[in-house]
Amino acid sequence: MAKRRVLLVDDEVSVLLTMKAILEITGFDVDTAASAREAKSKLKLREYQMVITDMRMESDAAGRDVIHAARTAPYHPAVALLTAFPEDDWADMGADKMLVKPMQTAVLIKQIEKLLDTHAAKLQRLANSAAAPAPPAKTEAPQPAAKKPAATKPAAKKSAAKKSAAKKPAAKPRASKKLASKAPIARKKVATKKRKR
């Protein structure tokens, strides 16, 4: 199995070296970048399965720039925000996960593995839905067949309307507004049963 490639972005060299060693021991192929500019350049040159970026580097919004660059990459990597300053809007920025440093090594690896698995499943669902436009066309074809009995529906509606008008004139309009999609189906079944008898 090929090693999964990760881009690790942080302006603190000690964090970069420690995280790189941990991830490589675990079986990842790790590239590092010490700034948002370097990270954006690397994102264009190679494909990564995951990008882990610090939020505050050369500017307070540098991590946001890295996340944006990763989100616009054609290969759609998973994105994790690694920060010592947790922010509530990490998902709004486009990150899939927020990792708060410092973190225990085992917990970090478990969270990264889980993120990669869920991201791969998400990409597979998107690929399957994009590759399967034929099933919606098939589901549309039976709809005209279902509409054919509608020609007999007005007679059933008229007789049902006459019966309900004599019993409860005010109750019927409320029910038809709330359950407009369900009411015709129920009437059709009733009308079909009456005709069979």
Question: What distance in Å separates the CA atoms of residue 2 and residue 146, rounded to the nearest whole number?
Answer: 51
Residue type, 153: K
What's the pLDDT score for residue 152? 47
Which single residue is written with the structure tokens 């399967």? Answer: 132
Asked which of 97, 131, 165 is the last residue of a domain, the reply is: 131
Average pLDDT over residues 30-59: 92
Its sign, for the CA torsion 106, 119, 95, 33, is: positive
Mean pLDDT check: name the lowest of 89-93, 94-98, 108-112, 193-197.
193-197
Domain shared by 39 and 63, yes or no: yes
Q: Are residues 119 and 24 located together in one domain of the fold?
A: yes
**147 Cβ contact list (under 8 Å, min separation 6):** none
How confident is residue 133, by pLDDT bands cut at 50, 70 and 90? low
Query: How many angstroms separate the Cα of 129 from the Cα of each of 29, 93, 117, 134, 140?
Result: 30, 25, 18, 10, 17
**Is the same domain home to 117 and 52?**
yes
Is 57 in the same domain as 144?
no
> Are 160 and 127 contained in the same domain?
no
Q: Locate tokens 């008898």: which residue?
A: 197
Mean pLDDT of all residues in 132-157:
49
Average pLDDT over every residue of 102-128: 85
Say yes or no: 50 and 102 in one domain: yes
Residue of 30 and 120 predicted with greater confidence = 30
d(CA 146, CA 131): 27
Tell me how far apart the alpha carbons of residues 152 and 145 are, in angstroms, rounded to a whole number: 13
Instruction: Give the residue-averaged pLDDT of 59-76.
Output: 89
Domain residue limits at 177 = 140-196
Total domains present in the chain: 2
CATH (domain of 80): 3.40.50.2300
pLDDT, averaged across the chain: 74
On whether both 9 and 87 belong to a single domain, the answer is yes
Cα–Cα nearest to 122, from 98, 99, 96: 96
Tell me the mean pLDDT in the region 3-24.
91
